[in-house]
A and B are shown apart, each in its own frame.
Chain A
Amino acid sequence: MKFAIESITKNSGRLGQLRIREGGPELRTPLLMQTTKGGSIPWLSADVFESHVSQKPQVLQFTLSTMDQMAEALAQWNSGDRGVSDYVGFPGHLNVLLLRDPCETTPSGGNDRDIQPLFTRRGRESLTPERYMEMVASIKPDIYQGLCDADTNAESAKKRVQKSVDRTEKFMHYIYEQRGKVPSTLLAPIVGGYNTFARTQSIKHAREQPAGSYGGYILEGFHTNGLTATTVDTDKLLPIVEHCVKQLEEDKPRLLPGAFTPLTILELIAQGMDIFDTSYAYCAALNFKALTFCFVQAGEKQVPFLDVTDDANKENFSPLLKTCSCLTCQKHTRAYLHHLYKTNELLGPILLMVHNLHHYMAFFETIRETVAKDKMPELMELVRKQNGDAQVDYSIAANTKVITKATMGKGFAAAAM
């Protein structure tokens, strides 16, 4: 993996070029990775993604918690010249293996001195550093994260934070020792919750390693994934991130997983973070929200989301977002999306995900242009107020109207003839 800083701006963070595979495509940071579940972009087949979202090479963000059961099959698959991206239907695309699914809240607890809990579909599994490295060797991702205890957030007690640092250090002793046995690039995990002392300790351990031990950083322990990332308090988050950034090597990319709000993403980029993921677009689609925030100057007043569950959409035959060129907005109406929600049809989240990804990826295009021009403060102002007078709310409340088996009857009753 090769990473080169293109420019560092005064107010807008940095631009970089990332080449993950030799001879592979050159990607630009700030970079948006495609979050996946079980190796697939949520709800979208590879065919739909490539036909209707993007044909450009992507970095797929795999998570062990949704793919651990594939390790055995992948060990066999990878014996040829095919890789894990080919296995999940995305040949030619790059990938990063993380431990935890940023789309879902990671349960707390289950941490132990020698094992890291892995929360899978089947429940809690215990991961030893030995087992983890075996699985990485089977899955053979382009990039993988170091094993770490990241079970902390803004409320964590000092003792918990310290434990997360100590255990991570212990896991990483083994990982650094064994990393030569896998061809993948390692990301050094930086943990320590919101505690500057703990973060420094965690960074110090990484920086003590011989040069070339790892290719980048992954910062965790600020939230516990899922919707918790959408509500992090930036007043607490940004100072601690700033504290970390100062101590990180400049020439290595910095990855920060999780469904941070668009505004927080901009703040984090301004601080010097480089790589993010699409879990925010997923969390919005899961809760039947279409992303509609504007990030292009001179737009009209706009709201962050369109709530598809709102009955006001029943006979609204306009697209989710008038100015959008995605398949969903070009071919389908709010009324149809509302109908798909009411009838619990699978096409609903598919169309929403197509739109949300299209919107969010366009947002990142704008971000890169903005960083290049060092205009981040203006973009932040636009995203913050959406051409209105007050700060808009980007947090995604779990939608209580989300259709479950229990609420299905309600939806039926409302529309019964």
Chain B
Amino acid sequence: MSPRSIPPLTYKVVAECSVTKARAGLMTLRHSEVNTPVFMPVGTQGTLKGILPDQLIELNCQILLGNTYHLGLRPGIETLKLAGGLHKFMGWPRAILTDSGGFQMVSLLQLAEIDEHGVNFRSPFDNSQCMLTPEHSIQIQNAIGADIMMQLDDVVKTTTTGPRVEEAMERTIRWVDRCIEAHARDDDQSLFPIVQGGLEVPLRQRCVSALMERQVRGFAVGGLSGGESKHDFWRMVDVCTGYLPRDKPRYLMGVGFAADLVVCVALGIDMFDCVFPTRTARFGCALVDSGQLNLKQPKYKMDMEPIDKDCDCSTCKRYTRSYLHHIATNESVSCSLLSIHNVAYQLRLMRIMREAIQKDEFPHFVREFMKRHFQSDPIPAWIREALAAVNIQLPADQEKKDELEEAPKAERKQEPTKSMTQPAATS
């Protein structure tokens, strides 16, 4: 059988959690197999800040994200075409996903205006008038050659209300047809439509059912993680995964905080991306289960432990918090060292979730994770509600004893003592 007769994306559910909506899957792309749920590190301009492709492979990273807006500017379509696509240009043999460029236009460029044709913007460099249409976005993404590409969507601020939200949702559906029409490499690249609809359940439902009528190999959930309340956030994710088909991967755009990842996996999301792990590394912060360590703090000066003694990344194997404290934000190598650790952290968290789902121990993992993550802090109400919606009841917080007098005492007292035995990562 010729390789071309295999679709460029196949997805298969490997295991499903018997309690929540979480699932483990295997996505096979032209450049790599991808085990889901997956976190995709963001390599905006054809490189993941300070990390060699070989190091990413060593971390078993299977898929990276590239930004169409940035890559379209530099190196530009012509150079990418001559190079034979982004994979070859950057020396990354595994899978890549690109966004549509639309989000950057709206978030980076204040002057962007959207009409039926596309996104109008003034170039920030020479102030010329430019237009990104659905066709143009696809043309750039075809040149980049990523395994998965995104439709251009009509992005509105998550806090927008009223008819503009519905208009954006309807337009996103019209644009997906233009994107599908313009897509010239459907044998190699898979185009994902994006579910819009703001924070309104009926709009989200309508959008999902309209997009499901199209021939696509996976779906993205967009328009979230942009300043809306966490209560709205999880409900929209829950609504979307409730309606999306079981047999196709679901990508939640721009989400990457550890607690959010755990909740959204429980809600049935398969793919995530976020700049947070690498961005926070540049400011000297290292991710651990209890949150993040700001290594610049004086208390780490004499701390001769690794960032996380259970982490097997090359940074934790060799370097102490004390040394990292001294070089963080001073020597640029610190950015590479912390990025390696933070990407390793994200990838390991996803791997542990996949394994838990496969063993059908995911609810147990979630409860243990939340205990480690929040330690003695109260677990936010939205996380309790979101998890309760997928049948995971978290134990009550110690602090909330007064409000929960009806709950059996023994149960309440046991849990917090356990959490106290967790390694005190910040002391």
Contacts and interface: CB of A to CB of B under 8 A. Distances in A.
Interface stretch (A4-12, A69-77, A302-310): A69-77
Given A73-B301, A76-B304, A417-B130, A47 B333 contact: no
A209 B73 CA distance: 65
A89 B326 CA distance: 13
A317 B82 contact: yes
8 contacts: A38-B330, A42-B332, A72-B301, A73-B325, A121-B330, A336-B90, A339-B75, A415-B74
A335 B89 contact: yes
A412 B125 contact: yes
Interface of B: 45-55, 70, 72-76, 78-79, 82-83, 89-91, 123-126, 128, 130, 301-302, 304, 314-315, 318-320, 322-323, 325-327, 330-333, 335-337, 340
B326 A73 contact: yes
Contacts of B78: 315
A337 to B, nearest CB: 11
B331 A37 contact: yes
B327 A38 contact: yes
Interface residues on A, range: 35 or more
Given A87-B320, A415-B74, A417-B130, A44 B333 contact: yes
A87 B327 CA distance: 12
B318 A47 contact: yes
Interface of A: 37-48, 51-52, 69-70, 72-73, 76-77, 87-89, 91, 121, 314-315, 317, 327, 331-333, 335-336, 339-340, 342-343, 345-347, 349-351, 409, 412-413, 415-417
A404 B263 CA distance: 41
A43 B51 contact: no
A70 B324 CA distance: 11
Given A70-B326, A73-B302, A339 B336 contact: no
A336 B46 contact: yes
A343 B301 contact: no
A409 B125 contact: yes
A69 B45 contact: no
B47 A340 contact: yes
Nearest to B333: A40
A41 B332 CA distance: 10
B128 to A, nearest CB: 8
Given A39-B327, A45-B337, A317-B82, A346 B332 contact: yes
B74 A339 contact: yes
B73 A417 contact: yes
Given A76-B304, A315-B79, A416 B330 contact: no
A88 B331 CA distance: 12
Contact of A350 (B52, B83, B315): B52
Contacts of A351: 52
A347 B52 CA distance: 7
B91 A45 contact: no
B333 A42 contact: yes
A349 B50 CA distance: 9
A9 B302 CA distance: 50
Contact of B327 (A40, A346, A417): A40
Contacts of A333: 83, 89
A335 B75 CA distance: 9
B315 to A, nearest CB: 7
A-B interface, 9 closest residue pairs, ranked by CB to CB distance from nearest: A47-B314, A346-B50, A416-B125, A89-B318, A413-B125, A347-B47, A38-B331, A343-B45, A40-B333
Contacts of A87: 320, 322-323
B281 to A, nearest CB: 11
A342 B74 contact: yes
Given A73-B301, A339-B46, A350-B336, A412 B323 contact: no
Given A72-B301, A343-B46, 5 more contacts: A47-B315, A336-B89, A350-B336, A351-B52, A409-B125
